[in-house]
Structure 1
Amino acid sequence: MLKAGVISELIVVALLSAMMGYYLWLVSKGRPLPKIRRIPAIDAIEEGIGRCAEMGRPMHYAPGDFGQISGEWGPAVVSALNIYKYTLKLAAKHEVPVYTSLPGVAEIIPLVQGIAREAYREEGKPELYKEENILYYGPSAYKIARCGTVLRNNVALNVQIGVFYTEIQSHAVARQIGAINIGGTTRWTAMYGQAITCDYVLICEEVLAAGTLVSGDPGMTASLAGEDVVKMFLVALGVIGIILGLMGNPALNSLLKM
């Protein structure tokens, strides 16, 4: 016998799988997918890089405090790395140096190095790759080290998008030297710090949408579209449940307890 409430969860999972499968089928047939809207924080990256080029100053990028591409935070880390590659390619066009502060997880080092090499090679400027600009500080000192990197190199753009515990210090340092701050995290408990200190912010799931947008990957777009349809369905279901509850009708509540 199934546990109470499991049937409704299974229905949601089945619906999500069906919608994602449908949009992936559209991809396989070469049919158009829903478009992802432009996100101001992503547009601001290009603006900030142009500012770096005009001022003759470098930029700084940090892909979060978590470096694992598997597990709970895997999708957010992958999205942060997609945005990182997009940022590097824009920086390569203007020949703006990029200092990258890695999280305290060693497994991300070769991955980031590979992404950087590929980004510069795709822009026809492999000579811009500088391994010494990809900085790994270990598991204990990376937060204060990020502050030092931002300040020491006098960056004009500070982009920190990924999964963060809390991140205020390096944004505050960047603001003191007149840099543009662009932040984003999927952890709502860490969102407040970036909202306070950043000029542009990706709020929670916007990180995933932004990573999909800049990647241009049809499979990721299909998955995102399927998830959005299911979210709209659940919101509508919630509204109907509230209305029925106010009318004294427990039908939906009873259904969800199945």
Structure 2
Amino acid sequence: MIEGTHFVFGAFIILGSIIIGVLLATRNGKLHPKIRRIPALDSIEEAVGRATEMGRPVHYSPGYGDITTSTAPQTFASFDVLNHVVALTARYNTQLIVTCKSPQSFPIIQELVREAYLVAGKPDMFREDTVRFISEAQFAWAAGVLGIFTREQVAANIMLGYFMAESLLFAEGGAQVGAIQVAGTGNLAQTAFFVAACDYTLIGEELYAGGAYLSQDASKVGNLAGQDIVKMITIAFIVLGTLLAT
């Protein structure tokens, strides 16, 4: 082992064991962690319901990110929420439009949506134009999405994932067609635009909690709880170390 890495390795093993332990305990029913209420995620059903009442489609965007770069965690977190949105649109017989920028994500999203409709007992609701690859170029993709807003007159606009300069374009475009908007990104530089222009916004790590919150899957909830415990332990060590150093 490289000299000076013993502490880091030991901390990794201990903290990793805590996460796994909490996950297993939750899965086995020994622990019952509670996730606080997240209004932005609760509002998704309201958004889909409004689109149903108006007879207009729901738009979903997993953002600028893809599955092969540092943006992948936000993209996969968005996939978890997308699965929930597909189930809601299947329940209410509401048209769903998913726009995609990443060619790597496109086939995954297609299969995710197709499978979700199949599980919901509505395989016929999946059409070839349900998931639409627009462009890999940032602003060509943004222009294509804005065109869909206008032509399709979407009533709900859900944007969750990694977003960059297109965030305000999408938010203002959705507002212009009167869509109820739910947004969230781990890119804090863009969060302010979502807060200003959208009806509901996920702040920071709330995006990563989406899958666990909506599904209440024991493994996901346990993993989330374990990470929170590790964060608290880490903060406690930072504070203790600071006090000892001074």
Instruction: Name the TM-score, length of structure 2 as normaliser.
Output: 0.89
Per-residue Cα deviation, 1:27-48 (whole angstroms, up to 9, x for no partner):
4534333122231111111001
Map of 2:202 onto structure 1? 202
In structure 1, the residue matched to 2:3 is: 2
1:165/1:11 Cα in 2 relative to 1: closer, same or farther (>3 Å)?
A: farther
- 1:218 paired with 2:218, answer yes
Deviation, structure 1 residue 101: 0.7
Please name the residue that 1:157 is paired with: 156
Aligned to 1:120: 117
- Say whether the 8 Å CA contact 1:79–1:212 is kept in structure 2: no
1:182 counterpart residue number: 182
**TM-superposition CA deviations, 1:143-186 (whole Å, max 9, x none):** 11111111211111100001112311011011112111111111
- Listed as ranges, the gaps of 5+ residues in structure 2 are none
CA–CA separation in structure 2 for the residues paired with 1:227 and 1:89? 28
The residue aligned with 1:250 is 245
Larger radius of gyration: 1
SS of 1:131 mapped into structure 2: coil
- Does structure 1 residue 67 correspond to structure 2 residue 66? yes
**Mapping of residues 42-61 of structure 1, within 5 Å:** 42-61=41-60
Equivalent in the alignment of 1:191:
191
Q: 1:108 aligns with which of 105, 112, 122?
A: 105
Alpha-carbon distance in 1 for matches of 2:20, 2:121: 37
Secondary structure (helix, strand or coil) at the match of 1:162 reads strand
**Aligned residues: CA RMSD:** 2.0
Q: 70, 78, 81: which is aligned to 1:80? A: 78
Runs of 4+ in structure 1 displaced over 6 angstroms? none
Deviation readout 1:89-140 (Å, 9 max, x if unpaired):
111111111111102x212122111111121122211111112121101211
Report the CA distance between 1:223 and its aligned residue.
1.9
Letter in 2 for 1:66: G
Q: How many residues are paired up?
A: 242
Aligned residue in 2 for 1:132:
129
Counterpart contact for 2:134–2:144, Cα < 8 Å:
yes
Matches of 2:215 and 2:230, distance apart in 1: 23
Structure 1 residue 234 displacement after superposition: 2.6
Aligned equivalents of 2:112 and 2:42: distance in 1? 21
Taking a change above 3 Å as real, the CA distance of residues 10 and 192 of structure 1, as seen in their structure-2 partners, is farther
Deviation per CA, 1:43-73: give whole Å up to 9, x if none. 11100111111111111000111121x5533
Q: In the aligned structure 1, how far is the partner of 2:124 from the partner of 2:12?
A: 47
Match of 1:106, as an amino acid?
A: P
What CA distance in whole angstroms lies between the structure 1 residues aligned with 2:185 and 2:28? 34
The unaligned stretches of length 5 or more in structure 1 are 252-258
Give me the whole-angstrom Cα distance separating, in 1, the residues matched to 2:175 and 2:163.
19
1:228, CA displacement in angstroms?
0.3
The offset of 1:215, in angstroms, is 3.5
The whole-number CA distance in structure 2 between the counterparts of 1:238 and 1:192 is 29
The offset of 1:214, in angstroms, is 2.1
Once residues 120 and 38 of structure 1 are traced to their aligned partners in structure 2, the CA distance between those partners, rounded to angstroms, is 27
Match of residue 169 from structure 1: 169
Following TM superposition, by how much is the alpha carbon of 1:238 offset from its aligned partner in structure 2, in angstroms? 3.9
* Alignment-derived partner of residue 31 in structure 1: 30
- Aligned partner of residue 153 in structure 2, secondary structure: coil
Aligned position for 2:142: 143
Name the SS of the counterpart of 1:158 in structure 2. Answer: strand
Call closer, same or farther: CA 1:204–1:169 in 2, change over 3 Å. Answer: same
